[in-house]
């Protein structure tokens, strides 16, 4: 007859949660509920302090971010922690900035959880690209001119640049993690046939009190001031007048 101390806890569940662009009031209700009730919170560096403050006082809160390629914590370690804490019976929130399924390594984490037979759920969040378009007062699509939106990044695993080869002006472009040098971005897009007058938006820390926006034409992008990370860029194939941008908040 086994004692109660030998009884293994019922496995918990892992939630891959999108924290949105940073503002607490842009969290989904589902994300807010899970963050406040989780017993374990594994968060990226870009998740705001205001959102982390929602965690329960007794929750284990661990930063597992990898900024600018600095790997203080490996992806394998993150996967192991999610699995270990879930097997201990905890409610684990893997908190990611923006949306977890967009440039957030969710594919690797879901594969690890499936292999370990750990239950998981994905909770979408507001992506920085959509927040940037909203802040600038611009639509990413138009019934008349633009029916496609392309989301891309210039940084892949191990610091390999993603590149913009083949991306032409047939779709609105949302570019994540463009890097600190804007001139190469402009050069590649111009080589791909984007007009020099294409209107660009460079958004830093969008959706937070530290938000900064720069609007310019593509030919001017290389001379634009580099904004602090995180940065997302928008490129609209339809020409907009300068006064079409909403570059300030009430």
Given 98, 123, 148, the domain boundary residue is 123
Please tell me the predicted confidence (pLDDT) of residue 90.
97
Q: Are residues 109 and 161 in the same domain?
A: no
Q: Tell me how many domains the chain contains.
A: 2
How do beta strands 91-96 and 119-123 pair? unpaired
Any idea what the CATH number is for the domain that residue 113 is in?
3.40.1010.10
Given 123, 151, 170, the domain boundary residue is 123
Q: Are residues 115 and 139 in the same domain?
A: no
**DSSP assignment letter at 239:** -
Q: Is residue 3 part of a domain?
A: no
Please tell me the predicted confidence (pLDDT) of residue 215.
95
Q: Are residues 17 and 94 in the same domain?
A: yes
Q: Are residues 99 and 168 in the same domain?
A: no
Helix (H) or strand (E) holding 181, with range, is none
What is the residue-level pLDDT of the chain in tens, covering all 250 positions?
A: 445 555 777 889 999 999 999 999 999 999 999 999 999 999 999 999 999 999 999 999 999 986 655 557 899 999 999 999 999 999 999 999 999 999 989 999 999 999 999 999 999 999 999 999 999 999 998 877 778 999 999 866 655 566 788 899 989 999 999 999 999 999 999 999 999 999 999 999 998 889 999 999 999 999 999 999 899 999 998 644 444 455 444 4
Q: Is residue 250 part of a domain?
A: no
Q: Are residues 141 and 113 in the same domain?
A: no
Q: Are residues 106 and 46 in the same domain?
A: yes
> pTM, whole model, 2 decimals?
0.86
Residue 121 burial (CB count, 10 A): 11
How do beta strands 91-96 and 149-153 pair? unpaired
Q: Are residues 133 and 70 in the same domain?
A: no
Q: Residue 152 sits in which domain range?
A: 128-244
- Report angle CA 229, 210, 37 to the nearest 5 degrees: 90
Q: Is residue 45 part of a domain?
A: yes
Q: What is the DSSP string of 6-42?
A: GPPPPP-EEEEEE-BTS-GGGS-HHHHHHHHH-SEEE
Q: Is residue 66 part of a domain?
A: yes
Given 77, 93, 123, the domain boundary residue is 123
Q: Are residues 31 and 119 in the same domain?
A: yes
Please tell me the predicted confidence (pLDDT) of residue 143.
78
Q: Is residue 78 part of a domain?
A: yes
Q: Among all residues, which ones are annotated catalytic?
A: 44, 66, 177
Please tell me the predicted confidence (pLDDT) of residue 147.
83
Q: Are residues 136 and 188 in the same domain?
A: yes
Any idea what the CATH number is for the domain that residue 175 is in?
3.30.950.10
Q: Are residues 146 and 113 in the same domain?
A: no
Q: Are residues 134 and 239 in the same domain?
A: yes
Q: Are residues 76 and 162 in the same domain?
A: no
Q: Tell me if 231 sits within 8 A of 180, measured CB to CB.
A: no
Please tell me the predicted confidence (pLDDT) of residue 160.
59
Please tell me the predicted confidence (pLDDT) of residue 1.
43
């Amino acid at each position: 007859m086994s004692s109660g101390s030998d009884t293994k806890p019922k496995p918990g569940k892992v939630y891959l949660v999108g924290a949105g662009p940073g503002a607490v009031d842009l969290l989904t209700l589902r994300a807010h509920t899970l963050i406040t009730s989780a017993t374990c919170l594994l968060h990226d560096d870009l998740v705001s302090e205001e959102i982390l403050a929602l965690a329960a006082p007794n929750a284990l809160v661990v930063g597992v971010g990898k900024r600018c390629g600095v790997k203080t914590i490996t992806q394998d370690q993150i996967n192991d922690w999610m699995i270990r804490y879930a097997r201990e019976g905890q409610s684990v929130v893997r908190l990611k900035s923006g949306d977890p399924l967009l440039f957030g390594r969710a594919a690797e984490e879901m594969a690890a959880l499936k292999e370990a037979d750990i239950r998981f759920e994905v909770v979408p969040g507001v992506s920085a690209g959509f927040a940037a378009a909203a802040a600038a007062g611009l639509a990413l699509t138009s019934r008349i001119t633009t029916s496609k939106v392309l989301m891309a990044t210039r940084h892949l695993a191990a610091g390999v640049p993603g590149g913009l080869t083949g991306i032409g002006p047939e779709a609105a472009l949302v570019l994540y993690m463009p890097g600190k040098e804007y001139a190469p971005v402009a050069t590649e897009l111009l080589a791909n046939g984007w007009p020099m007058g294409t209107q660009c938006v460079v958004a830093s820390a969008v959706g937070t009190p530290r938000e900064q926006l720069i609007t310019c034409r593509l030919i001017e992008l290389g001379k634009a001031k580099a904004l602090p990370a995180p940065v997302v860029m928008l490129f609209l194939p339809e020409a907009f007048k300068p006064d079409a941008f909403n570059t300030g908040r009430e």
